[in-house]
Amino acid sequence: MTRPPEGDDSDGTAERKMRFLFQLRSAGVTDARVLSAMERIDRGRFVRGIFADRAYADVPLPIACGQTISQPSIVGLMTQALRIGPRDTVLEIGTGSGYQAAVLACLARRVYTVERHRQLAREAQALFADLGLSTIVSLVGDGSRGLPDQAPFDRIIVTAAAEDPPGTLLSQLKIGGIMIVPVGQSDAVQSLIRVTRHESGFEYEELRPVRFVPLIEGTAND
């Protein structure tokens, strides 16, 4: 065994981080700002229990309430596809573990994130506070309705699959705004769609096949 270089901790954190970033680049995450956001936010903080040792692998993992934390490369590709500017206000639907929201918070001015499970929202809020991510506003509710009081948004990201891009959310997008949403049946492969709102209407682009848990209307009873 060689000694880790000066400044490195002996548990291999630096090497693990390098491997994590290498996986992201290999999957097509090339935007330097997105990579540095994902270097900064430790995914290990968002994964618990028996799955914690796989936090840096490029796989989705189970979280509480029967939900999943997305695969890091998908988080990276979705974030990159959003083309976030530093003055943007972003709406995320499906807080889950809070990992995606934390990455968004490194790039945007403010992030609103909505989750239908109170338990998940509460745990994510505690993590945001612990990590000093004070620009994230975390709310419990039915995200398929968006947040009419805060609308319109520069960017919207939906991290659960809808059968169609939700009209209510589209109406809460600014002109020039971008929405990323997985579209399709929840038990099949879905398509990741980028919607750009122009003066004259909406432009749709299909980005890649993905698999997400379904967007479910209403709040959960927990």
Q: What is the DSSP string of 28-68?
A: T---HHHHHHHHHS-GGGG--GGGGGGTTSSS-EE-GGG-E
The catalytic position among 10, 36, 70, 138 is: 70
- The question of whether 191 is a catalytic residue gets the answer no
Of 7-15, 36-44, 61-69, 195-203, the window that binds ligand SAH (rule: CB under 6 A) is 61-69
Of 24, 37, 74, 93, the one binding ligand SAH (CB under 6 A) is 93
Least distance from C-beta 199 to ligand SAH, angstroms? 29
> Using CA atoms, how far apart are residues 216 and 161, in angstroms rounded to an integer?
9
Interaction of residue 114 with ligand SAH, rule CB under 6 A: yes
Least distance from C-beta 110 to ligand SAH, angstroms? 17
> Using CA atoms, how far apart are residues 134 and 157, in angstroms rounded to an integer?
19
Q: For strand 153-158 and strand 89-93, is the pairing parallel, antiparallel, or unpaired? A: parallel
- List residues bridging with 206 in a β-sheet: 193
Of 100, 125, 138, 172, the one binding ligand SAH (CB under 6 A) is 100
Interaction of residue 74 with ligand SAH, rule CB under 6 A: no
> Using CA atoms, how far apart are residues 159 and 183, in angstroms rounded to an integer?
10
Interaction of residue 160 with ligand SAH, rule CB under 6 A: yes
Interaction of residue 89 with ligand SAH, rule CB under 6 A: no
Q: What Cα–Cα distance (Å) separates residue 53 from each residue in 16, 50, 172, 179?
A: 11, 7, 39, 33
Q: Residue of minimal CB distance from ligand SAH?
A: 94
Interaction of residue 96 with ligand SAH, rule CB under 6 A: yes
Comparison of 20 and 175: residue with beta carbon closer to ligand SAH: 20
Listed residue (112, 119, 29) closest to 75, CA to CA: 29
Considering only residues 175 to 214 of the shown chain, the ones binding ligand SAH according to CB under 6 A are 213
Interaction of residue 215 with ligand SAH, rule CB under 6 A: yes
Comparison of 35 and 61: residue with beta carbon closer to ligand SAH: 61
Tell me the chain's radius of gyration from C-alpha atoms: 17
Considering only residues 129 to 148 of the shown chain, the ones binding ligand SAH according to CB under 6 A are 142-144
